[in-house]
Chain A
Amino acid sequence: MRKGLSPFNIVSLVMGFSFLYLPILLLVLFSFNESKLVTVWGGFSTKWYGEMIRNEGLMDAAWMTLKIAVVSSTFATILGTIAGLVMVRFGSFRGRLLFSGMIYAPLVMPEVITGLSLLLMFVAISLDRGFLTITIAHITFSMCYVAVVVQSRMVTFDQSIEEAALDLGCPPMRTFFTVTLPIIMPAVVSGWLLSFTLSLDDLVIASFTSGPGSTTLPMKIYSSVRLGVTPEINAISTILVGLVTVGVLVASYVSRRQTLIRQRDERLAAAEAT
């Protein structure tokens, strides 16, 4: 009886997804508007994309953001993978409660608090604010997301696979690299992608921890949004949204294909056996 959609279900799905997607679609649409007025359609044009590329401040910020995102997501993935492993495989150890607290709290901690506290800490150890401080800040909150993603993959996989490796003479460290890591790789990759977009996206924490000369793209977007809606910002937003969408779609296509191939293989194997 839960099979099939009732009219109510269809309406709620259609309305829900329109609510989620309409604003973004409108944003994309108006990035191609000839007119400077956001609400008046003045014909199709890509001139705002040209403006955007010629805007040096915007391009510098984009480059800075990209550098921070690559570096921070890489480190966050390493630390977060280890943290996820610790959460699942290390049982109970002294200070585990604090550890899990420090993993889960950043997921919901208001950004203003995280940003302020990191800034005050950087001031206290007199670390010059800039690329390094933003990167450290991004690593800190992204690694928690990676840890959660890796953790949820780890709990579903059979621990005896690791034990089998140990049993066959493979020392623990090598077991991690030859057996565990290849199996959890999809989670590690999606953890990296997630931290990459989180870093690309962050405004509040970056505003606190950045210094002169290290403006990130969200900060740039924020300051021009405060002055009003401009098609140029629509253009760069469109590009960001497009990149992420393509990335996510490709990733989901690849993983779906793999699942399908796998299911087909399993059916074949079962059919062969009988």
Chain B
Amino acid sequence: MMTAIPSGNNRQTTVEAWKDPSQEPYIRLENVTKKFGDFTAVDNISLDIFKSEFFSLLGPSGCGKTTLLRMLAGFEQPTSGRILLDGEDMSKVPPYLRPVNMMFQSYALFPHMNVEKNIAFGLKQDGVPSPEIKTRVDEVISMVQLEQFAKRKPHQLSGGQRQRVALARSLVKKPKMLLLDEPLGALDKKLRTRTQFELMNIQEETGITFVIVTHDQEEAMTVSSRIAVMDHGRIIQTATPTEIYEVPNSRYVANFLGEVNIFEGRVAENARDHVLIQSQEAGCTIRADHGIDAADGATVWVAVRPEKMYINLEAPDDPNTNCMTGQVWDIGYLGNLSIYHIKLDSGTMVTMARTNKERVVERKITWDDRVYVTWAPDAGVVLLS
């Protein structure tokens, strides 16, 4: 495997607790399965989440991520398996006795209470004395910068402000774990990007373990210390954002996060430090600079990200560089990037991206040009499934 893959975004978790066998997981899911009638929403998931992680559950809608989150909150009971929080079995504990709080997708603010009352609600349930409630509510209100809105009711707030109230309400109880169900889904793109960084700051400074559900891969990449990619009730891969993007373990994960070109082929030569793959789709022999666990002749797939490919009018010099030939089929200009669609001589369509470092006045490579598409042997990943 590649070495020196940088870890998640989170400064606190650069310790990488999940790689340290002596660390006790904070939340442990043991063979958790949830069925609704015949439908299996969550299928035998085992997962460890460590203290102060910012953990993302990522997947398309209907993959079971929300069900998993709702089981952590206590709204659904696992059909089988156990959920341990800080060593305690949570399966039989009802939601109102769990030291876990949730930020709902719809925010679920109480429409008949103002901002202050909404935030104080959870503390009141625990019988916290009112002077303490006051100070703690004031603290979080200033933390989310809603001081001048404290007396307003939810319908008198904008979407972004409601989102902050919901966050403050779930934070004020200082839960052991904060669950966020698509927390930024209702915000527009600009506000969402800003709020992602605010969320990360809050998480770092409070040290609360965050578990977030999202279908937005960019959001998951930005905020998480680790991501679990889910599909059909199963976790396909759990890793840091960088690993997930650079070293996906399957075509599903590679496809789900970002654009990727995938070439099917057969193993021609499998050495300790490299592998050669005969690929009809690529129309050449592909070299990858890492060993794989597969026999000669086995079918494998090579995944290459569009931005890791180069496009040239001349053939490369280095014989180790992977090289395919084709014709420019289409060019999409995105401003910062240009996307090239190239039809290879084998018939396969390849997508590649070029950063527009200079102002585009006249393209050097344009429609219908014969081109060489190249990428370095360490730029692609060989996938076994």
Contacts and interface: CB of A to CB of B under 8 A. Distances in A.
- The answer to whether any beta carbons of A and B sit under 8 Å apart in the complex is yes
A165 B170 CA distance: 11
Interface stretch (A67-75, A112-120, A265-273): A265-273
Given A167-B73, A183-B112, A273 B96 contact: no
A56 interface: no
A158 B106 contact: yes
Contact of B156 (A165, A174, A175, A266): A266
B155 A161 contact: no
A132 B110 CA distance: 40
Contact of A160 (B108, B161, B173): B108
Contacts of B33: none
Interface in A143-184: 158, 160-161, 163-172, 174-175, 179, 182-183
A262 interface: yes
B374 to A, nearest CB: 48
A169 B122 contact: yes
Contacts of A171: 94, 96
A171 B98 CA distance: 11
Contacts of A265: 153, 155-156
B121 A170 contact: yes
Contact of B160 (A169, A266, A273): A273
Given A161-B110, A169-B173, A266 B104 contact: no
Nearest to A174: B125
Interface in B160-174: 160-161, 169-170, 173
B273 interface: no
Given A269-B156, A273-B158, A165 B110 contact: yes
Contacts of B74: 166-167
B111 interface: yes
Contacts of A183: 110-112
Contacts of B173: 168-169
A248 B371 CA distance: 78
Contacts of B152: 269
Nearest to B100: A167
A179 B158 contact: no
Given A169-B122, A170-B121, A163 B112 contact: no
A169 B128 CA distance: 12
A272 B155 contact: no
A171 B74 CA distance: 13
Contact of A169 (B73, B126, B157): B126
Contact of A164 (B98, B102, B155): B102
B159 interface: yes
A268 B156 CA distance: 7
B271 interface: no
B207 interface: no
Given A160-B105, A160-B106, A182-B112, A167 B95 contact: yes
A44 B333 CA distance: 85
B325 interface: no
Given A169-B96, A171-B96, A163 B108 contact: yes
Contacts of B126: 169
A211 B68 CA distance: 61
Interface in A44-59: none
Nearest to B172: A168
B96 A164 contact: no
Nearest to A181: B112
B121 A168 contact: yes
Contacts of B322: none
Interface residues of B, number: 35
B361 interface: no
B156 A164 contact: no
Contact of B96 (A160, A166, A179, A268): A166
A262 B152 CA distance: 12
A77 B159 CA distance: 36
A240 to B, nearest CB: 34
Nearest to A161: B108
Contacts of A270: 158
A269 B158 contact: yes
Contact of A170 (B101, B111, B125): B125
Nearest to B126: A169
A237 B111 CA distance: 41
A160 B94 CA distance: 16
A269 B112 contact: no
Interface string B43-83: 00000000000000000000000000000011100000000
Contacts of A165: 110, 121
B97 interface: yes
Nearest to A273: B158
A266 B111 CA distance: 13
A163 B155 contact: no
Nearest to A169: B125
A272 to B, nearest CB: 7
Contacts of A161: 108-111
B158 A272 contact: yes
Contact of A179 (B104, B110, B122, B161): B110
A40 B8 CA distance: 92
A164 B110 contact: yes
27 contacts: A158-B106, A161-B110, A161-B111, A163-B108, A164-B102, A164-B110, A166-B96, A167-B73, A167-B95, A167-B101, A168-B121, A168-B169, A168-B170, A169-B96, A169-B97, A169-B125, A169-B126, A171-B96, A175-B96, A183-B111, A262-B155, A265-B153, A265-B156, A266-B155, A266-B156, A269-B152, A273-B161
Interface of B: 73-75, 94-98, 100-102, 104-106, 108-112, 121-122, 125-126, 152-153, 155-161, 169-170, 173
Given A163-B104, A166-B74, A167-B102, 6 more contacts: A163-B102, A166-B95, A167-B74, A169-B173, A265-B156, A269-B152
